[in-house]
């Protein structure tokens, strides 16, 4: 798909918006953004990763956004910035067809409670439901099929894509982006056992999302048992993530797809959790912790750095042998220790 | 969020409902439930875990629910019970704002088939769809945006939160709680290969959920290929869980977030699966099996107990070395065995 | 559940449709399909796996579909085929109640844009939303609560079950089956960091699904950053799967539940990923790769075959010892190497 034709900008305009230095003809217009190898003569492109430097000489793009150190290698107009990847982020917003299309208004099929309060320029899509006492800030966009529960608050400029569920008593900050079918504020998983069966513990807390939070499609952030589940400012959460009750995530942390965090665990600021990472409950991860994909963390981490667990893939034939040996590992060490003793006693 | 003000009870009332023994002024009223450290003078709290005993002397709560052995250490009124965590579960229901708010009735935007049958006091939310032949028991609550498929049955007192999908021909017992965006009865994953491409196997079975089952947000329970996927009574399933076709789960088992169970596996009664656990297909786990978080189970388990796999997180630098060694593990054992032989032959 | 009574066929009819050879009375009618052990005298059954051969002598079925080599052991009428599992797939379609029930038409509560184009025989369910410029091919079925975004295309004969979200600018081929609450075309997870906070990279690409693709419930296929996420023909994707931006999956590959694939990874044709498998980003897996359940793949794979990682479950007591030893593995090998040197120097 290519929605690039919806927008066109001169290189001068782009340089001004990005604060970039332009080398080349500022009156040339570009109407699309593409990769170095895919870009055509109507497109602007960027170079932010040295691995793609090899594509620079042959690019057909009208202009390339890149680091000043690569300007001499650029066969066409260029815009230079110290952080071209950041420039790419700004370019992507310029060329985003979604930003152009939104028209405020409440669709006639939406069900909006008389006791809900809606700010200026709010858009509520077809079949969306806004329950009693909910408050939507200015310019909030609620997509088709979304449900915003009783007494929940959505901060200004936030967008809920289609079929999002925000349960009752949830507080969402400004400029949130919630993707389709994510659920904010479903019950946490709490039960007391009487010796023979489970008794539900009603989940009386809420969920509080800071400003600039993004949540991917089909992700779940559960409400607190007592007290809230708290997601800090500028936290980015990918698709298929599970965040259990009373978890706390510090500002600017990023969680990749399929991460699961068990109840009451605290993740610090500026942490990064790779895809499929699992954190046990009641842990504390300090600021600046990175955990690589599919690692299991069962103890708190008090020192910034990169952490990992598991084993990488190998041929199944080799793996079968090694996995059996893993089950014998403690015995293997005992055998080794015995040998060492004999050696020493000689 | 704090909905505690919606409810107020005297300590005498609470003691009577919980069957607890009260020490203190029974006429005092409490209007909220909070943790030991957060509770204020309008709140009741509880102590169910010795780790929190340190907060007891300084609690500001009006009353504390605790074990009789801690009564002497309590600076305020107390209610004693042998299982205070169970008492907490009952308290949480008392203070649950959801229970107070529900008003029966069919929202005018709901689409309810003329051939569906609805019990007494049923509530169907905005934009919900009840298809042909579906039967909802007394006091069933169907949230906004839910779909209940053709010929499905929902037992009395069950609640479907927003945007739940119950596909056709599914049977759900009494008092079920289904959280937002979960899907009960999507197709199992079955295909036959003809040597060059896949042919779909229509999934002709259904899903049967017993009584008192809870299913978390965004979880999937797939319908059987032939015969049903069967979830026993009092089974508790967290968010982001995948249960494949023809799985059977015994009564009172609990599955934490992100668990995945492959086709036709049978999990016994009173089992507990930690977050992210994976069970291969066609296995049998006997009653009383616990599996710790993110473990992979590829063989049946015939003895109750706790099972685990995987490795815990360590620094990435150390992990890289060890993960490489894991690939050499079988060779390492061979080297060790050679050394042992030489030793013996000496 | 048993919808089998909706259909009845003579054994002659079935043999003709399947291209099977019938041994027995061709006028006998069957009205259901069941397993060897569950089938009654109104049912047809099949034998496709030797493990179930033991149930053949006692089957109560009217007829059994099986390989010619088992015909002599069959106590009742039989239909023989070289690939009876493939025959079972065809039988399952015959007995599928869903195929009988669909009636075309646009439900009056559906919201269909005037600029959308709908083919012949299209069915749009209650509360579904078809946005501007969307194009639905002939006989497309859109279930209740689905949203088809602006300018998206759904190929002829495709079915969207309830509450599916297809975002804007997505292209879906013919005969797709999308299960409830899956999301096709949510944003990929892309951000640039400015040293203190994240800047969103608008996801300007789309998603392209080939023909005959199936996607399970609650799965996510994210749209590309620049360029598209591309799923080939006849790719089968189970429930709870996460496919990140710009991933490419080759024709005929199958992904089991809870798989997660990070950005820009390319999976070849005829690959099979077991449940919970994780693939890191920017990898290439060649054609014909199989990865067993819950394995982590962090490097490209250039040779067809079966690959694995991780360790199988054992008792927690044994696991605790071995998991500790895993952290010492590199040191253990150093100890072994020292011993070997001493041995050699003797």
User: Higher model confidence: residue A108 or residue C7?
Assistant: A108
Give pLDDT tens digits for A150-190.
Answer: 999 999 999 999 999 999 999 999 999 999 999 999 999 99
C327/B183 Cβ within 8 A: no
Residue C93 has pLDDT above 80, yes or no: yes
Residues of chain B with pLDDT under 70: 1-6, 99-102, 346
Residue C1 has pLDDT above 90, yes or no: no
Query: At C100, is the pLDDT very low, low, confident or very high (cuts 50, 70, 90)?
Result: low
Look at residue C99 in the predicted model and tell me its pLDDT: 66
For A92-159, the three-class secondary structure string (H helix, E strand, C coil) is HHHCCHHHHHCCCEECCCCEECCCCEECCCCEECCCCEECCCCEECCCCEECCCCEECCCCEECCCCE
Contact of C125 with chain A, judged by CB distance below 8 Å, is answered with no
Q: Alpha carbon B295 to chain centroid distance?
A: 18
A199 is catalytic: no
User: Higher model confidence: residue C7 or residue A227?
Assistant: A227
ipTM of this complex prediction, to 2 decimal places: 0.94
Instruction: Map out the domains of chain B as residue ranges.
Output: 4-100, 104-307
Look at residue B265 in the predicted model and tell me its pLDDT: 98
Nearest CA among B279, B232, B274, B234 for reference residue B257:
B274
Choose the mutation target among A239, A252, A321, A323 for the interface with C, i.e. most C CBs under 10 Å.
A239
CA distance C1 to chain A (A): 28
H or E stretch at C284: strand C284-285
CA distance A279 to chain C (A): 16
B89/A192 Cβ within 8 A: yes
Residue A1 has pLDDT above 70, yes or no: no
User: Which among C126, C234, C320 is the nearest to B197, CB-wise?
Assistant: C234
Radius of gyration of chain C measured on its C-alpha atoms: 26
**Which A positions 53-92 lie with beta carbon below 8 A of chain C?**
83, 85-86, 88-90, 92
Residue A232 has pLDDT above 80, yes or no: yes
Look at residue C67 in the predicted model and tell me its pLDDT: 97
Catalytic residue among A245, A252, A282, A302: A245
Residue C2 has pLDDT above 50, yes or no: no
Look at residue A100 in the predicted model and tell me its pLDDT: 58
Nearest CA among C166, C214, C92 for reference residue B186:
C214
Could you tell me how many CB contacts below 8 A there are between chain B and chain C?
A: 257
Fold of the domain spanning A105-307: UDP N-Acetylglucosamine Acyltransferase; domain 1 (2.160.10)
Could you tell me how many CB contacts below 8 A there are between chain A and chain B?
A: 256
Give pLDDT tens digits for C193-218.
Answer: 999 999 999 999 999 999 999 999 99
Look at residue A104 in the predicted model and tell me its pLDDT: 83
Give pLDDT tens digits for C285-342.
Answer: 999 999 999 999 999 999 999 999 998 899 999 999 999 999 999 999 999 999 989 8
Question: At A66, phi and psi to the nearest 5?
Answer: -155, 175
Q: Tell me the average pLDDT of chain A.
A: 94
Question: At A97, phi and psi to the nearest 5?
Answer: -65, -25
Fold of the domain spanning B104-307: UDP N-Acetylglucosamine Acyltransferase; domain 1 (2.160.10)
Look at residue C343 in the predicted model and tell me its pLDDT: 81
Contact of C106 with chain B, judged by CB distance below 8 Å, is answered with no
CA distance C227 to chain B (A): 27
3-class DSSP state of B338: helix
Rounded to an integer, what distance in angstroms lies between the CA atom of residue B85 and that of residue A201?
9
Give pLDDT tens digits for C211-270.
Answer: 999 999 999 999 999 999 999 999 999 999 999 999 999 999 999 999 999 999 999 999
Handedness of CA B124, B127, B130, B132 (dihedral sign): positive
Look at residue C270 in the predicted model and tell me its pLDDT: 98
Partners of residue A88 in chain C, C-beta under 8 Å? 192, 201
Residue B190: burial class (beta carbons within 10 Å; 0-12, 13-18, 19+): buried
> pLDDT exceeding 90 applies to what percent of chain A?
91
Nearest chain A residue to B315, by CA: A307
Asked whether A84 and C194 are in contact (CB, 8 A), the reply is: no
Lowest mean pLDDT among A216-225, B60-69, B98-107, C24-33: B98-107
Tokens of C69: 């080599």
Look at residue B104 in the predicted model and tell me its pLDDT: 83
Look at residue C184 in the predicted model and tell me its pLDDT: 98
Residue C101's CB is within 10 A of a number of other CB atoms, namely 13
Contact of B218 with chain A, judged by CB distance below 8 Å, is answered with yes
Give pLDDT tens digits for A274-325.
Answer: 999 999 999 999 999 999 999 999 999 999 999 999 988 999 999 999 999 9
Select the CATH number that applies to the domain covering C106-307 from these four: 3.40.50.410, 2.70.98.50, 3.40.1480.10, 2.160.10.10.
2.160.10.10
CA distance B257 to chain A (A): 7
CA distance A214 to chain B (A): 18
A326/C201 Cβ within 8 A: no
Query: At A342, is the pLDDT very low, low, confident or very high (cuts 50, 70, 90)?
Result: confident
Rounded to an integer, what distance in angstroms lies between the CA atom of residue A333 and that of residue B264?
39
**Which of the residues of B are catalytic?**
245
Residue B272's CB is within 10 A of a number of other CB atoms, namely 18
A217/C183 Cβ within 8 A: yes
Asked whether A124 and A108 are in contact (CB, 8 A), the reply is: no
Return the bridge partners of B278, or none.
Answer: B260, B296
Give pLDDT tens digits for C122-175.
Answer: 999 999 999 999 999 999 999 999 999 999 999 999 999 999 999 999 999 999
Residue B60's CB is within 10 A of a number of other CB atoms, namely 16
Partners of residue C200 in chain A, C-beta under 8 Å? 89, 92-93, 177, 214
Contact of C298 with chain B, judged by CB distance below 8 Å, is answered with no
User: Which among A1, A313, A332 is the nearest to C296, CB-wise?
Assistant: A313
Choose the mutation target among B220, B222, B230, B272 for the interface with C, i.e. most C CBs under 10 Å.
B220
Look at residue B97 in the predicted model and tell me its pLDDT: 77
- Cα dihedral C74/C77/C81/C82 (nearest 10): 10
Look at residue A253 in the predicted model and tell me its pLDDT: 98
B262/C257 Cβ within 8 A: yes
Look at residue C103 in the predicted model and tell me its pLDDT: 77
Could you tell me how many CB contacts below 8 A there are between chain A and chain C?
A: 258
Look at residue B102 in the predicted model and tell me its pLDDT: 65
Fold of the domain spanning B4-100: 3.40.1390
- Partners of chain C (3+ Cβ pairs below 8 A): A, B
């Amino acid at each position: 798909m290519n929605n690039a034709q919806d927008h066109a900008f001169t290189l001068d305009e782009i340089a001004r918006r990005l604060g970039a230095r332009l080398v080349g003809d500022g009156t040339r217009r570009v109407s699309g953004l593409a990769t170095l190898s895919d870009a055509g003569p109507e497109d602007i492109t960027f170079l932010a990763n040295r691995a793609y430097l090899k594509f620079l000489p042959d690019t057909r793009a009208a202009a390339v956004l890149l680091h000043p150190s690569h300007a001499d290698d650029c066969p066409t107009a260029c815009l230079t910035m110290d952080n071209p990847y950041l420039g790419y982020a700004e370019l992507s917003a310029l060329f985003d067809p979604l930003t152009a299309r939104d028209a405020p208004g409440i669709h006639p099929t939406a069900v909006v409670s008389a006791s809900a309060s809606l700010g200026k320029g709010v858009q509520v899509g077809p079949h969306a439901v806004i329950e009693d006492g909910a408050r939507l800030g200015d310019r909030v966009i609620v997509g088709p099929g979304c449900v915003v529960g009783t007494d929940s608050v959505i901060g200004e400029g936030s967008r809920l894509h289609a079929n999002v569920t925000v349960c009752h008593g949830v507080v969402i900050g400004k400029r949130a982006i919630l993707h389709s079918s994510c659920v904010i504020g479903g019950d946490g998983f709490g039960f007391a056992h009487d010796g023979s069966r489970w008794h539900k513990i009603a989940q009386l807390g809420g969920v509080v999302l800071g400003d600039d939070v993004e949540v991917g499609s089909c992700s779940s952030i559960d409400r607190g048992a007592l007290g809230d589940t708290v997601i800090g400012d500028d936290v980015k959460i990918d698709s298929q993530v599970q965040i259990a009750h009373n978890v706390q995530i510090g500002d600017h942390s990023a969680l990749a797809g399929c991460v699961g965090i068990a109840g009451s665990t605290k993740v610090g600021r500026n942490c990064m959790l790779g895809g499929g990472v699992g954190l046990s409950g009641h842990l504390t991860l300090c600021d600046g912790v990175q955990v690589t994909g599919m690692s299991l963390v069962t103890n708190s981490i008090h020192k910034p750095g990169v952490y990992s667990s598991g084993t990488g893939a190998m041929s199944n034939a080799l793996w079968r042998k090694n996995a059996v040996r893993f089950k014998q590992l403690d015995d293997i060490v005992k055998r080794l220790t015995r040998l060492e003793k004999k050696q020493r006693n000689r």
